[in-house]
């Protein structure tokens, strides 16, 4: 049984459809990435997942139970928001005490161990912390709770390069040691590429792609091509060719069906065809572009 | 839940201090009056008290008026307290953090009401302790004077220690009713501040509309019926807020002299029962709505589309009635006044509709 099961999740805000039949499954000990542009529905889905908001229709279960208004399940889920708003007049110390009282699994020793690296002043008021420091605080508090599921919404925003590396390292350690299940959304796709087992791409509330990182990389390929003779750009118009750019006589072709495209290129008298690697960010851009064109 | 209660108490610490300080001041005022009375009795001869018509009713009525007069200030404090309690959970972004915690909305509401009610109850108890001390210190003097005063037997029967408890119970119930009413209205309107303002305006609208209808009724029968209904409501409100109770006339003949006195009876009565049922009603509605829409899951400006419509209609009616008051004050009602009424109603509807639409669009709700 999957730890996180989202089936046909739909959410309306008035007449606006924020989520449209989204289905995701995350197994125990997996790190699942959720990628999408601003306003694609990631935060809406995440808020429903941690019990802050409800869905209009569909099903959302963690550990086989509904999350909304379910304190026993919520106690097992850690949540790091994109903007962490804690009680303004609390100090870091008081917030730690608050967490200790609410979550029996909270470990102050673990928090101190993380804080040796993060160096947050404990006596400081939450209000006085910068956005990056509040994010670090939220991460440390949630990791110190030892949650079985950790949900993160843009956790690396506002963090410097070193802090990002440390945080992602903490998450990977927790997954390896305790088989913690993670759902993470981010704009920084290069980080997700290194971190995630599976990914879901979401655009305008609709799932556009869902697979492992390696499967995603198999879906779209980039070819570096040189033709024997100059050709017209519209000769490369094809349902599988997503994008064509050229620098002088070198053409870069992005395709969703490499076999079909290679056959087409042979027919166009190509002299050099070379596959070049694509990162997740490029795959994401081209996937979204192709979906928009189809719409 | 314990943690939430501790957090709520920390949140309201300033109000706890203000309420308790106010209670000590109120109680202290009563106690100092009682001490003054006591000194008066010690330093002056008994005759002054015997021939005076007021014996212990002086103390009881003074304590009663302390409670009456402080109600206005306490109601204002209650409004601020409710604003602070619900601002965190309804309007601020910190509400998302609170909702991610392992508590249900019902638990959060229970904690808020528990702490609010406890503050009011403990404040009343503090006042009560002072009042009881005042009474108990003067009780021997009252007994002595009742023995020799012609109407003393009447006072002994009617004014007892329980009379002091009765006025405190009424005071506490008034405050709790006010508190729980405004807690309930937090679940009728989306935003914290507007819900308080709309609730107050809604309460003011009742006499505002009734009086205008009364004035507008051309038929004498209708006017009398509405007038009586209006007067009845005012009478009930007056009794509740001004602790009015039954008054009896006592007449005693001593030799050739007649002694007559009106004595107020302070007792737990039908009004207290009504207030208790009102409080239970407000609590039921609050818990029902918190399950249905929570603190923030409003799709409309109010908790339902129908209530949005009712609000628009009421605002339109109130704006339409405005020229009536101008007419009542200055001139007779005429055709021009009717035109002004229609224009005023239109402006009122336009404004409230704009406010509601803008608020809904901002939050991505349903118009």
Q: Give me the interface pTM, i.e. the ipTM.
A: 0.83
In angstroms, rounded to a whole number, what is the distance separating the alpha carbons of residues B226 and B214?
6
Which residues from chain A sit within 8 angstroms of residue B102, using beta carbons?
Answer: 71-72, 74-75, 102-103
pLDDT of residue A102: 93
DSSP 8-state secondary structure symbol assigned to residue B248: E
Torsions phi, psi for B258 (to 5 deg):
-110, 135
Strand partners, A225: A251, A273
Best of B96, B110, B305, B359 to disrupt the A interface by mutation (most A CBs within 10 Å)? B96
Of B309, B304, B303, which is closest to residue B353 (Cα–Cα)?
Answer: B309
CB within 8 Å: A69 and B93: no
Query: What residue of B is the nearest CA neighbor of A76?
Result: B102
Min Cα distance A134 → chain B (Å) is: 13
Min Cα distance B96 → chain A (Å) is: 6
**How many Å separate Cα B128 from the centre of its chain?**
19
B364–chain A Cβ distance below 8 A for any pair: yes
CB within 8 Å: A85 and B365: no
Min Cα distance A161 → chain B (Å) is: 26
Name which residue leads in pLDDT, A87 or B286. Answer: B286
B93: nearest CB among A16, A54, A85: A85
**Arithmetic mean of pLDDT, A249-270:** 86
CB within 8 Å: A72 and B102: yes
pLDDT of residue A97: 94
**Arithmetic mean of pLDDT, A281-292:** 72
A71: nearest CB among B92, B102, B366: B102
Whether the CB-CB separation of B169 and B192 falls below 8 Å is answered with no
Q: Which residue in this structure is represented by tokens 């945080």? A: A167
Beta carbon pairs, A and B, within 8 Å? 59
Of B68, B160, B80, B72, which is closest to residue B116 (Cα–Cα)?
Answer: B80
In angstroms, rounded to a whole number, what is the distance separating the alpha carbons of residues B203 and B200?
5
Cβ-proximal residues to B93 (8 Å cutoff; 6+ apart), any chain: A83, A85
Dig out the tokens for A28 from the structure: 């125990």
Which residues from chain A sit within 8 angstroms of residue B190, using beta carbons?
Answer: none
Residues B201-244: tens digit of each pLDDT? 888 888 788 777 776 665 455 555 666 666 777 676 766 666 66
Residues A40-71: tens digit of each pLDDT? 899 999 999 999 999 999 999 999 999 999 99
**Percent share of chain B, pLDDT over 90:** 29
**Arithmetic mean of pLDDT, A10-23:** 90
Min Cα distance B87 → chain A (Å) is: 12
Considering only the C-alpha atoms of chain B, give the largest distance between any 2 of them, rounded to a whole number of Å.
83
CB within 8 Å: B97 and A83: no
Whether the CB-CB separation of A119 and A157 falls below 8 Å is answered with no
Of A106, A213, A115, which is closest to residue A166 (Cα–Cα)?
Answer: A115
Whether the CB-CB separation of A46 and A120 falls below 8 Å is answered with no
Best of A66, A74, A93 to disrupt the B interface by mutation (most B CBs within 10 Å)? A74
Best of B10, B92, B102, B190 to disrupt the A interface by mutation (most A CBs within 10 Å)? B102
Of A288, A287, A277, A286, which is closest to residue A222 (Cα–Cα)?
Answer: A277
CB within 8 Å: A53 and B297: yes
Which residues from chain A sit within 8 angstroms of residue B88, using beta carbons?
Answer: 87
Dig out the tokens for A278 from the structure: 């694509």
Q: Dihedral of CA B163/B168/B173/B174: which sign?
A: positive
Cβ-proximal residues to A151 (8 Å cutoff; 6+ apart), any chain: A46, A49, A50, A77, A78, A79, A80, A182, A183, A184
In angstroms, rounded to a whole number, what is the distance separating the alpha carbons of residues A205 and A17?
7
In angstroms, rounded to a whole number, what is the distance separating the alpha carbons of residues A254 and A208?
17
Residues A63-111: tens digit of each pLDDT? 999 999 999 999 999 999 888 788 878 999 999 999 999 999 999 999 9
Query: What residue of A is the nearest CA neighbor of B102?
Result: A71
Considering only the C-alpha atoms of chain A, give the largest distance between any 2 of them, rounded to a whole number of Å.
74
B352-363 burial code (b ≥16 CB/10 A, e <16): bbeebeebbeeb
Restricting to B residues 92-111, those with a Cβ less than 8 Å away from any Cβ of A are 92-94, 96-97, 99-105, 107
pLDDT of residue A295: 44
In angstroms, rounded to a whole number, what is the distance separating the alpha carbons of residues A148 and A105?
11
Note every long-range contact of A238-243, with CB atoms under 8 Å and residues 24 or more positions apart, other chains counting. A238/A264, A242/A286, A242/A289, A242/A290, A243/A286, A243/A289
Min Cα distance A283 → chain B (Å) is: 32
pLDDT of residue B226: 62
pLDDT of residue A127: 86
- Write the CA distances from A93 to A96, A113, A122, A201, integer angstroms: 5, 15, 5, 38
In angstroms, rounded to a whole number, what is the distance separating the alpha carbons of residues B353 and A13?
20
Best of A50, A75, A87 to disrupt the B interface by mutation (most B CBs within 10 Å)? A87
Half-sphere exposure of B333 (CA within 13 A, CB side): 14
**What is chain A written as a DSSP string?**
--SEEEEEEEEEETTEEEEEEEEEEE-TT-EEEEE--TTSSHHHHHHHHTTSS--SEEEEEETTEE-TT-HHHHTTEEEE-SS----TT-BHHHHHHHHHHH-TT--HHHHHHHHHHH---TTSBGGGS-HHHHHHHHHHHHHHT--SEEEEESTTTT--HHHHHHHHHHHHHHHHHH--EEEEE-S-HHHHHHH-SEEEEEETTEEEEEEEHHHHHHHSEEEEEEESS---GGGG--SSEEEEEEETTEEEEEES-HHHHHHHHHHTTEEEEEEE---HHHHHHHHHHHHHHH-
Q: How confident is the model at residue B261 (pLDDT cuts 50, 70, 90)?
A: low
DSSP 8-state secondary structure symbol assigned to residue B249: E
Cβ-proximal residues to B71 (8 Å cutoff; 6+ apart), any chain: B171, B174, B175, B241
Q: How confident is the model at residue B253 (pLDDT cuts 50, 70, 90)?
A: low
Of B50, B253, B252, B38, which is closest to residue B148 (Cα–Cα)?
Answer: B50
pLDDT of residue B250: 63
Nearest 5°: CA angle at A239, between A236 and A245? Answer: 40
Dig out the tokens for B357 from the structure: 């639409």
Best of B95, B97, B292 to disrupt the A interface by mutation (most A CBs within 10 Å)? B97
pLDDT of residue A140: 93
Which residues from chain B sit within 8 angstroms of residue A46, using beta carbons?
Answer: none
CB within 8 Å: A102 and B101: yes
Which residues from chain A sit within 8 angstroms of residue B3, using beta carbons?
Answer: 98, 101-102
Whether the CB-CB separation of A2 and A26 falls below 8 Å is answered with yes
Whether the CB-CB separation of A9 and A47 falls below 8 Å is answered with no
Query: What residue of B is the nearest CA neighbor of A84?
Result: B97
CB within 8 Å: B366 and A51: no
In angstroms, rounded to a whole number, what is the distance separating the alpha carbons of residues B138 and B133?
9
B13–chain A Cβ distance below 8 A for any pair: no
A102: nearest CB among B3, B99, B360: B3
In this predicted structure, the answer to whether residue A190 has a pLDDT above a threshold of 90 is no
Residues B112-160: tens digit of each pLDDT? 999 999 999 999 999 999 998 888 888 877 777 777 776 666 666 667 7
Dig out the tokens for A215 from the structure: 């499967």
Dig out the tokens for A72 from the structure: 């026993």
B362–chain A Cβ distance below 8 A for any pair: no
In this predicted structure, the answer to whether residue B257 has a pLDDT above a threshold of 80 is no
Min Cα distance B194 → chain A (Å) is: 21
Whether the CB-CB separation of A268 and A232 falls below 8 Å is answered with no
3-class state of residue B259 by DSSP? strand
Pairing state between β A181-185 and A198-203: unpaired
Name which residue leads in pLDDT, A15 or A91. Answer: A91
């Amino acid at each position: 049984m999957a730890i996180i099961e989202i089936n046909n999740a739909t959410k309306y805000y008035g007449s606006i459809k924020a989520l449209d039949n989204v289905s995701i499954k995350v197994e125990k000990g997996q790190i699942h990435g959720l990628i999408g542009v601003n306003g694609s529905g990631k935060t809406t889905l995440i808020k429903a997942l941690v019990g802050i908001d409800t869905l209009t229709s569909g099903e959302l279960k963690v550990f086989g139970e509904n999350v909304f208004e379910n304190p026993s399940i919520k106690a097992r889920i850690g949540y790091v928001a994109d903007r962490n708003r804690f009680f303004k007049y609390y100090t870091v110390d008081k917030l730690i005490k608050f967490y200790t009282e609410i979550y029996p699994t909270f470990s102050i020793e673990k928090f101190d161990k993380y804080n040796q690296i993060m160096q947050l002043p404990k006596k400081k008021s939450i209000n006085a912390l910068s956005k990056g420091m509040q994010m670090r605080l939220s991460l440390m508090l949630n990791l110190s709770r030892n949650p079985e599921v950790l949900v993160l919404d843009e956790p690396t925003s506002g963090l410097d390069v070193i802090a990002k590396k440390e945080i992602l390292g903490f998450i990977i350690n927790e997954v390896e040691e305790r088989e913690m299940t993670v759902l993470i959304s981010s704009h920084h796709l290069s980080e997700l590429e290194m971190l995630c087992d599976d990914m879901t791409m979401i655009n305008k509330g609709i799932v556009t792609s869902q697979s492992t990182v390696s499967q995603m990389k198999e879906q779209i390929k980039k070819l570096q091509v040189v033709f024997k003779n100059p050709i017209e750009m519209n000769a490369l118009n094809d349902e599988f060719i997503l994008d064509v750019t050229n620098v002088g006589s070198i053409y870069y072709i992005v395709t969703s069906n490499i076999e079909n495209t290679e056959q087409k290129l042979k027919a166009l008298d190509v002299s050099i065809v070379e596959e070049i690697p694509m990162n997740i960010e490029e795959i994401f851009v081209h996937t979204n572009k192709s979906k928009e064109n189809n719409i | 839940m314990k943690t939430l209660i501790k957090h709520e108490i920390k949140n309201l610490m300033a109000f706890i201090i203000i309420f308790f300080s106010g209670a000590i001041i109120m109680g202290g005022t009563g106690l100092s009056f009682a001490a003054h009375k006591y000194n008066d009795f010690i330093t002056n001869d008994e005759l002054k008290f015997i021939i005076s018509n007021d014996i212990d009713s002086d103390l009881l009525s003074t304590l009663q008026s302390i409670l009456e007069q402080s109600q206005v200030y306490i109601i204002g404090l209650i409004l601020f307290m409710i604003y602070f309690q619900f601002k965190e959970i309804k309007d601020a972004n910190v509400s998302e953090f609170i909702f991610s915690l392992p508590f249900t909305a019902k638990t959060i509401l229970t904690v808020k009401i528990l702490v609010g009610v406890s503050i009011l109850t403990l404040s009343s108890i503090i006042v009560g302790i002072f009042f009881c001390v005042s009474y108990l210190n003067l009780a021997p003097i009252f007994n002595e004077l009742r023995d020799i005063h012609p109407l003393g037997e009447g006072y002994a029967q009617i004014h007892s220690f329980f009379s002091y408890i009765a006025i405190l119970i009424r005071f506490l119930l008034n405050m709790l009713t006010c508190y729980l009413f405004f807690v309930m209205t937090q679940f009728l309107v989306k935003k914290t501040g507007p819900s308080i303002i709309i609730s107050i305006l809604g309460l003011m609208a009742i006499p505002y509309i009734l009086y205008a209808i009364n004035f507008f009724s051309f038929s004498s029968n209708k006017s009398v019926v509405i007038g009586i209904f209006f007067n009845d409501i005012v009478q009930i409100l007056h009794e509740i807020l001004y602790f009015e109770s039954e008054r009896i006339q006592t007449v005693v003949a001593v030799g050739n002299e007649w002694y007559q006195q009106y004595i107020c009876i302070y007792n737990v009565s039908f009004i207290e029962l009504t207030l208790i049922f009102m409080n239970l009603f407000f609590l039921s509605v609050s818990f029902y709505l918190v399950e249905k829409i929570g603190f923030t899951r409003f799709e409309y400006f109010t908790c339902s589309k129908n209530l949005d419509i009712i609000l628009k209609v009421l605002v339109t009616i109130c704006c339409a009635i405005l020229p009536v008051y101008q007419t009542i004050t200055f001139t007779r009602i005429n055709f021009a006044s009717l035109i002004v009424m229609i224009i005023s109603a239109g402006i009122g509807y336009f404004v409230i509709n704009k406010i509601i639409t803008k608020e809904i669009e901002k939050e991505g709700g349903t118009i």
